[in-house]
Amino acid sequence: MELILLLLILFVLLAIGVPVAFSLLLSSMAVFAMLGLNPLVAVQRLSAGIDVFTLMAIPFFVFAGDLMTQTGIASRLIRVAEGLFGRVRGGLGHVNVGSSMMFGALSGSAVASVSAIGSTMIPIMEEKGYDRAFSVNVTSAAAILGFVIPPSHNMIIYAAASGISISIGDLFVAGIVPGLVCGAVLMITVSIIAAKRGYPKGTFPGFGSLLGAAITAIPGLMTAVIIVVGILGGVFTPTESAAIASVYTLIIGLLVYRTLGIRQFLDAVVNSAKTTSMIMLIIGSAAAFGWLLALLEAPLMMSDLILGITDSPVMILLMVLVCLLILGTFMDMAPLIIIVTPIFLPVVQAVGVDPVHFGIIMMLALGIGTITPPVGTVLFVASAVGKIRVEDTVKSMWPFYIALLICLLIVTYIPQVSLILVGSS
């Protein structure tokens, strides 16, 4: 009864527009009171949820991502992608995907990718004859690859929520091949649509121009290399790597690109502070909510329910995927990771799924949720950047939904796609 009430209150609060963090906390406090527990315990659980050293990496990664946006790294990545992919039919769509993949690898944020890449690419694509809805579709779909391609702060949240020792370095490495596979599938989708609609081809700028663009982009791209190689080499921890990424990006913006002024720096500080406070409040509230779910034995009930239906790994993974896809459309990614990881991870582990592999599955499945109504944070941001109604975006989004679902099935049922590089790291 208490579990039903907890979920009912949560969904009612979300339905009437209460912010996710407050919905989680208020529903938790209501059930705490019903159980005769001191509601202050909910606040204590909130504090304990964010009092995790590993999570210190999040504000640094967010700050580094904001610095990258302010220093114009996105425009340099777009020039590289245009040199690589722009000459084929629908070339600007491929450029959008390629630059989003590279920017996602630097910022780890889909919203940052949509804002930085979309604000530049969508107007250019429309000017060259591409449909605006298509431009927004490509930008939205490609942006979620930032959840998978390292470094991703959502992987850090997953590792903290797992309750077991999962290497963040392994998670980062595990996301590389799935990210490339998803990028390739999205480019194939772009090619099919471009051929059907007769979108124009671009022109090859020449190897000299491509080389020049690559050279100017290398200092920015080195951020991701330093982070991943540093963690895998044991040079520094994930938290230290995030701090180093911030310092490195600051130096690049000041001394190499010379595009970071006082105003841009202050904007990055303010934006990252706002984003970090929001993320941490959501994580803390989700931790209190998750603790209550554990108290009410929700993970055990879900495990018994699924394993009682079937013991087939294929069917169990399919049921978990469906749950993740549905839940991802109703709630932001960070709280969902905190809540569902302790519920589903033991279930999939029971049928032999590697925790690192499941982490990549979760990143992609919940990432798809961020471009799916009714919540769809990334979708709403992309629509706002593209100045188009969300309804119009969704109507033409279906080819990209299909493409991403194909990617999800590949990643889910071919574990080596995620784990092939982990063993060699």
Query: 24 vs 8, 9, 265, 287, 331, CA distance in Å?
Result: 11, 9, 33, 9, 10
Q: Is residue 93 part of a domain?
A: yes
CA distances (Å), origin 53, targets 108, 155, 362: 19, 15, 23
Q: Is residue 146 part of a domain?
A: yes
In terms of DSSP H, where are the helices of 128-261?
A: 132-143, 153-161, 168-174, 176-197, 207-232, 238-251
DSSP E strands in 198-330: the ranges are: none
Burial of residue 4, with CB atoms counted within 10 A of its CB: 0-12 exposed, 13-18 middle, 19 or more buried = exposed
Element (DSSP H or E) covering residue 24: helix 20-34
Domain that holds residue 370: 54-419
Query: In one letter, which amino acid is 281?
Result: L
Task: Give the closest residue to 61 by CA, choosing from 272, 332, 335.
Answer: 272
The residue length of the chain stands at 425
* DSSP letters spanning 63-109: HHHHHHHHTTHHHHHHHHHHHHHTTSBTHHHHHHHHHHHHHHHHH--
The single residue listed with the structure tokens 């006082």 is: 262
The tens-digit pLDDT sequence of the chain (425 residues) is: 788 888 888 889 888 888 888 888 888 888 888 888 887 787 888 888 888 777 888 888 888 878 877 777 777 877 788 777 767 788 888 888 988 888 877 777 787 788 878 888 888 888 888 899 999 999 999 999 989 988 888 899 999 888 888 988 899 999 999 999 999 999 999 999 999 998 887 666 667 777 887 888 888 878 878 887 887 777 888 888 888 888 988 998 888 888 888 888 999 899 888 888 888 888 888 888 888 888 888 888 888 888 888 889 999 999 999 999 998 888 888 889 998 999 999 999 989 999 999 999 999 999 999 999 877 888 888 888 888 988 888 899 999 999 999 999 999 999 999 999 986 55
DSSP 199-224: PPB-----HHHHHHHHHHHHHHHHHH
Sequence-ordered list of residues with C-beta below 8 angstroms from that of 178, at least 6 positions apart, any chain: 148, 360, 364, 407, 411, 417, 418
Burial (0-12, 13-18, 19+ Cβ within 10 Å), 36? exposed
Query: In the numeric block, which tokens belong to residue 8?
Result: 């009912």
- Report the distance separating Cα 225 and Cα 73, nearest Å: 15
Instruction: Note whether 379 and 390 are within 8 A (CB).
Output: yes
Comparing CA positions, the residue from 403, 407, 394, 404 lying closest to residue 134 is 394
What is the distance between the alpha carbons of residues 389 and 394, in angstroms, rounded to a whole number? 9
d(CA 75, CA 270): 22
Residue 145 falls within a domain, yes or no? yes
Structural domain contains residue 393? yes
CA geometry: angle 132, 369, 405, nearest 5 deg: 80
121 in a domain, yes or no? yes
Whole-number Å distance between alpha carbons of 376 and 304: 31
Tally the domains of the chain: 1
Model confidence, pTM: 0.86
Report the DSSP beta bridge partners of residue 201: 89
The reply to whether 300 falls in a domain is yes
Whether 214 is in a domain gets the answer yes
* 201 φ, ψ (degrees, to nearest 5): -90, 155
What are the tokens at 147?
A: 């959840």
A 10 A CB-CB count for 47 gives 12
Residue 362 has phi, psi (to 5 degrees) of -65, -40
